[in-house]
């Protein structure tokens, strides 16, 4: 399917990266289980947070090392889906998987030296940082350069991950004492992020020609593919000829589909978050206390947890 049968198991599933992700997930369960008693204020982590963390790690693995990652080097449309999964799906799910007591421990320990740059987490700054870097990355000359230089590629993706976390912190921060946005502020922040990403998606969707040599020039494509599959660029060209071997869409249409996919996923995620924030803000304004609004677990979940 989609030409994946031409690649080996290792190229499709990146066993080393998978092992790292499994170790991190195991470490998470050790942290919230046997080691939780070492942290002040620790309590049992609800089932929904555990599921959220696992889902986020799975999304990140598929986007950065699994088949979706490989397809993202072949077709631009899959590249954009991979980007959406990495920074709009995986990051908030992983963050939601960490309970408040864990965040307090991180902020007092590992993350404490970063307090001098805490201004980067301010709502407007965080929104401009992530969306600005994301849009900058999709300027054709910058995108092709990053895709052709492995070290720069990994560094840029790591920075995008961190700035995405800063952006999401303003929406899913579980610590009331560090919460800078509430109610209408969060709603405005969501709209700001939806607007800031629109120009980049518009550029991609309405361009009159293919913008990225990585997905239209066979020579450039083969060089970029060399970072995720075995074989020299010459061997890849001899075997496949270029990205057209795998695609049923022209480079221009593939590019348009990618831009639409990114914008659709972003709109869906932020619209869902908007509905969630507005619902709880409305309930709070009508007399419910903060504890009731911020506690997502239901009576059914509590009964389930007692059996786990």
All structural domains of the chain with their residue ranges: 10-285
Q: What share of the chain is helix, strand, coil (3-state, %, to 5)?
A: 75, 0, 25
Pull the structure tokens for residue 307.
């059996």
Say which residues have a Cβ less than 8 Å from residue 276's Cβ, sequence separation at least 6.
none
Rounded to 5°, angle at Cα 156 from 31 and 119: 70
Q: What is the pLDDT of residue 288?
A: 61
CA 276 – CA 289 distance, rounded (Å): 16
Question: Do the beta carbons of residue 70 and residue 229 sit within 8 Å?
Answer: yes
The whole-number pLDDT of residue 301 equals 41
Q: Which residue has the tokens 């990051």?
A: 91
Cβ within 8 Å of residue 272, ≥6 positions away: none
pTM: 0.89
The tens-digit pLDDT sequence of the chain (308 residues) is 577 888 999 999 999 999 999 999 999 999 999 999 999 999 999 999 999 999 999 999 999 999 999 999 999 999 999 999 999 999 999 999 999 999 999 988 888 787 888 899 999 999 999 999 999 999 999 999 999 999 999 999 999 999 999 999 999 998 988 888 887 899 999 999 999 999 999 999 999 999 999 999 999 999 999 888 888 889 999 989 988 898 778 999 999 999 999 999 999 999 998 888 888 777 777 766 444 334 444 443 444 334 43
* Residue 144: C-alpha distances to residues 197, 236, 240 (Å): 20, 18, 20
Give the pLDDT score at 277: 85
Q: How far apart are CA 243 and CA 205, in angstroms?
A: 19
């Amino acid at each position: 399917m989609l030409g994946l049968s031409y690649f080996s198991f290792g190229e499709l599933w990146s066993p080393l990266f998978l092992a790292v992700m499994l170790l991190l997930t195991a470490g998470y369960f050790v942290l919230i289980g046997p080691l939780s008693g070492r942290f002040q204020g620790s309590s049992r982590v609800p089932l929904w947070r555990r599921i959220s963390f696992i889902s986020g790690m799975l999304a990140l693995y598929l986007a950065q090392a699994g088949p979706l990652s490989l397809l993202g080097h072949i077709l631009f449309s899959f590249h954009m889906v991979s980007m959406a999964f990495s920074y709009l799906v995986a990051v908030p799910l992983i963050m939601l998987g960490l309970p408040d007591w864990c965040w307090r421990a991180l902020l007092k320990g590992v993350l404490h030296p970063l307090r001098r740059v805490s201004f980067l987490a301010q709502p407007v700054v965080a929104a401009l940082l992530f969306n600005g870097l994301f849009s900058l990355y999709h300027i054709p000359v910058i995108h092709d350069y990053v895709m052709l230089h492995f070290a720069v590629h990994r560094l840029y993706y790591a920075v995008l991950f961190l700035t995405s976390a800063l952006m999401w912190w303003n929406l899913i921060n579980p610590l009331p004492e560090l919460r800078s946005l509430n109610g209408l502020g969060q709603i405005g922040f969501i709209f700001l992020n939806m607007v800031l990403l629109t120009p980049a998606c518009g550029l991609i969707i309405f361009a009159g020609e293919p913008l990225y040599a990585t997905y239209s020039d066979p020579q450039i494509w083969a060089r970029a593919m060399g970072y995720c599959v075995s074989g020299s660029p010459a061997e890849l060209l001899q075997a496949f000829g270029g990205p057209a071997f795998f695609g049923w869409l022209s480079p221009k249409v593939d590019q348009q589909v990618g831009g639409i996919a990114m914008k659709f996923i972003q709109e869906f995620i932020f619209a869902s978050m908007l509905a969630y924030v507005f619902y709880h803000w409305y309930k709070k304004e009508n007399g419910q206390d903060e504890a009731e609004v911020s506690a997502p677990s239901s009576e059914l979940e509590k009964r389930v947890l007692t059996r786990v």
